[in-house]
Structure 1
């Protein structure tokens, strides 16, 4: 691989009809956009309430698991840069049942996330116009984001790059201001120091049990890092861009989350940070106000709004590609596998939009009953997706070794031990969710849905028609790698 980026005329469409038009910087920012939502700005209070200042350790440990995910995906997608990302690779190495279940459960999880994000975006708009009916911004944002995804992948990539950049810059400024607040102080305020890390009950006031319980919250903060693999079929140079994006993405996420949380629990007593529900009490708003930033609350509301829309935008992209991939393999209606002249799977996008509408309606009309069930499926599905990624990586390594195939250009250090350790960690987090008040519904909703998908696979396979284009049977070097 020379590293040269082919020109537009030299970039043929992927076998599935998708166009390779995403640049390296766009691929990297798409992954960031999917992983950083509103949770860092507003939703970290639950993790802090469980672990206290030791939440820093929880974010660091979860970052290591996310790094393993990123490396395993980079190692596999460089060899198989095809539509469907990790779902298509699971189909290849674990069999069609695993590929079917993983893609559909991931599609469902992301559709629910999109629905919740568009409703959240509508609520953020009402910060400025409280009399505005919620349905109006929800409809407007849905139409706008669908249009962004429907135009072309190149336009989507550029739009998401700048949208995600807003929250990245905000986090960097927050961390820099936080370091100043801790070390030298802000105008009119003395240096905060590090005393808040050990006061109010110590560094880990709830012991290691609290730190582990916080893992159930913290791990979800890194969910979305797998989105980088879905860009493989539309990246201009996947062999170069995907490994680079995967490494940089996780390192940036770890930097943002770990340093961000370190700043939060250093400048705000952890009990106060744990109860920081709402915009006005957000540590971000507090710090920016202390630094003299004009209209800090309004500014942060704008940033949080863009964070929600950015995550929604990326998740719409991911859901459309997952549905398209299933159709190409014959496990979804054939019309979902078609693309338009610009290489956009608009039919698959339309199906995802249907789910968006359902999730948005349920979140507004039945937030106390139906929506928590959908959210439980989403949380369960995200963790199951990571577990299947680890299992796929182990099978990928075994197959290439037994077949005498060349190694991937990028390899996960320490595998298969590191893969197994990360899988055990995620399995432990998944089991722990069953014993938490916040996420206990994940098992109650997730297990029946998983069983339903398994049953659906049996039915679909019986009536399955030959796919319009079979899954590619060779790796990016042309070496046969099918099972």
Structure 2
């Protein structure tokens, strides 16, 4: 039974434009609007290089993923592919790791929402905003995939337009407005030079830049509900990577020319800081609204991704069949319900660690995502050889530079994961390594249980035949 038929409960309704905007929506979230402040604090102006390297890694990843997704357009995406081309254990690990990453990422975005709302309501506890916005998005996601996709399309459009306007406004301030001696390219080399923390600062900031790009892989998950995967998936992936690379590198460069890098932080968005500096009445409030929309949009996409991954786990027999049930409108409501636990976690962390909830949630959410990306590179090495050996059809998109660029992408990600132990994000490994051990034990138990059930069924069938 092929992947196309396997997930028959989901409806193929998503168009190319919607796929692109869903991926953009997931990726253009707090990683750019709020996390960029964290990255700037780690690398200084050389964070521009960090984001460029991050974009290159994502470009390699998307090349591998596009090829495999066109061959296997399912909502299980890279989990199904890892299971098929590496082994079932790899599929089990990557599905659950990605699911938990998205669940925690929902917590990251909702933590950021509570920070943004302080701009207007400084005395209201953040947990109130977490619960309020969570309730709204839960209602929207529970309706239908088209309701979700339409909302995501317009939320993402607001963000894209805002970033384009920010780039144009920044360019005008730098080159066309009244000359301000505190603004200009010299800000890229002030306060310790372009690389105040050396190559190590650039390397650590690559980690944060990758968090900003997380979500581009959403196209692979939405492929299970795409109308024409062969056409839609490659188009959406190319458009997403190109736009993200341009947006991130350009906005970082402009931002650092206008705002001295030491002014960046995560108490508010660096974008809001830029607008505050140019003294346009009401503009800072509008920008804060836009970054709030960015967080809502990313959270919306992550709810979708985590739901579809849990549905895929249930479909593959790795999670209770209970989560496989789909509503009349094509939404796996039970898988959706269990995927909202990140919101509860974020509410708890926000209440007990109000000053560091964002960076804490980011650290633990990153492991599953980076691990998933690493497995995608490994899967591609196995996939290409077997696809060609088995005489698979000629695919409309192929990763260039195989196997060298695939290996390079995997090695860079593995190195980043290992070196986080020596950075402020060591909680990623403190969570991630025990998580993989826990999952592996769970897989062994699941496999033994399945084997026992299969043997019992075989024995039962044999006794029926002989009687």
Output the TM-score relative to the length of structure 2. 0.90
Please name the residue that 1:57 is paired with: 49
Distance 2:171 2:358 in 1: 39
Deviation at 1:65, TM superposition (A): 0.5
Per-residue deviation, 1:357: 2.2
Structure 1: gaps spanning 5 or more residues: 1-11, 468-483
Distance 1:187 1:193, change over 3 A: closer
- The answer on 1:169 being equivalent to 2:168 is no
Report deviation, 1:294: 2.6
Match of 2:18 among 26, 34, 38: 26
> Who is 2:191 aligned against?
200
Q: Distance in 2 between matches of 1:95 and 1:456?
A: 16
Give yes or no for contact 2:75–2:223 (8 Å, CA) kept in 1: yes
Question: Are the structure 2 counterparts of residues 250 and 419 from structure 1 closer, same or farther at C-alpha, using a change threshold of 3 Å?
Answer: same
Distance, in Å, in 2 between the alignment partners of 1:368 and 1:90 is 38
Which of 75, 81, 90 is equivalent to 1:83?
A: 75
Query: Deviation at 1:15?
Result: 3.2
Name the structure 2 match of 1:226. 217
Note closer, same or farther for the CA distance 1:145–1:48 as it changes in structure 2 (3 Å cut): same
- Sort the Cα spacing of 1:209 and 1:87 in 2 relative to 1 into closer, same or farther, 3 A: same
Q: Identify the residue that residue 3 of structure 1 maps to in structure 2.
A: none
Checking the alignment, whether the CA contact within 8 Å between 1:374 and 1:445 is kept in structure 2 is no
Which residue of the other structure, out of 393, 396, 412, is the alignment partner of 1:409?
396
Distance 2:129 2:34 in 1: 20
1:286 positional shift? 4.0
Instruction: Show the counterpart of 2:337.
Output: 350
Give the number of aligned pairs. Answer: 450
- Structure 1 CA distance, aligned partners of 2:290 and 2:179? 26
- 1:256 corresponds to: 247
Write the distance in 2 (CA, Å) between the matches of 1:405 and 1:344: 32
CA distance in 2, matches of 1:90, 1:129: 46
1:394-423 alpha-carbon deviations (Å, 9 max, x no partner): 111011122122332101111211111111
Shift of 1:367: 5.9
Which of 417, 434, 438 aligns to 1:452? It is 438
2:254 is equivalent to residue 278 of structure 1: no
Task: Report the equivalent of 2:88.
Answer: 96
2:34 to 14, 32, 42: 42
Preserved CA contact (<8 Å) 2:103 2:342: yes
3-state SS of 2:281 partner: coil
Distance (whole Å) between structure 1 residues aligned to residue 52 and residue 246 of structure 2: 9
**Is the CA contact 1:51–1:205 (under 8 Å) kept in the aligned structure 2?**
yes
State the match for 2:450 in structure 1. Answer: 464
Task: Evaluate the alpha carbon distance shift between residue 459 and residue 377 of structure 1 in structure 2; reply closer, same or farther with a 3 A threshold.
Answer: farther
Which ranges of structure 2 fall in alignment gaps of 5 or more residues? 455-467
Query: 1:59: Cα distance to partner?
Result: 0.8
**Offset of residue 377 of structure 1:** 3.4
**Structure 1's 373 and 178: CA in aligned 2 closer, same or farther, altered over 3 A?**
closer
Judge conservation of contact 1:182–1:191 (CA < 8 Å) in 2.
Answer: no
Q: 1:189 Cα deviation (Å)?
A: 4.2
Greater share of residues in helix: 2
Partners of 2:358 and 2:188 in 1: CA distance: 36
Distance 1:462 1:366 in 2: 41
SS of 2:75 mapped into structure 1:
coil
Structure 1 segments of 4+ aligned residues over 3 angstroms from their partners? 12-16, 130-136, 187-193, 289-293, 365-377, 464-467
Tell whether 2:287 aligns with 1:295.
Answer: no
8 Å contact 2:23–2:216 — kept in the other structure? yes
CA gap of 1:445–1:455, structure 2 versus 1, over 3 A, is: same
Q: In 1, are the aligned partners of 2:144 and 2:330 still within 8 Å (CA)?
A: yes
Preserved contact between residue 111 and residue 358 of structure 2 (Cα < 8 Å): no
Which of these residues, 365, 370, 374, is aligned with residue 387 of structure 1? Answer: 374
Partner Cα distance (2:339, 2:35) in 1: 26
TM-score (norm 1): 0.87
Task: Report Cα offsets for 1:14-58 as digits up to 9, x if no partner.
Answer: 733100111111100110111121232232233223322221111
Aligned CA RMSD, in angstroms, stands at 2.4
Closer, same or farther: CA 15–44 of 1 in aligned 2, 3 Å = closer
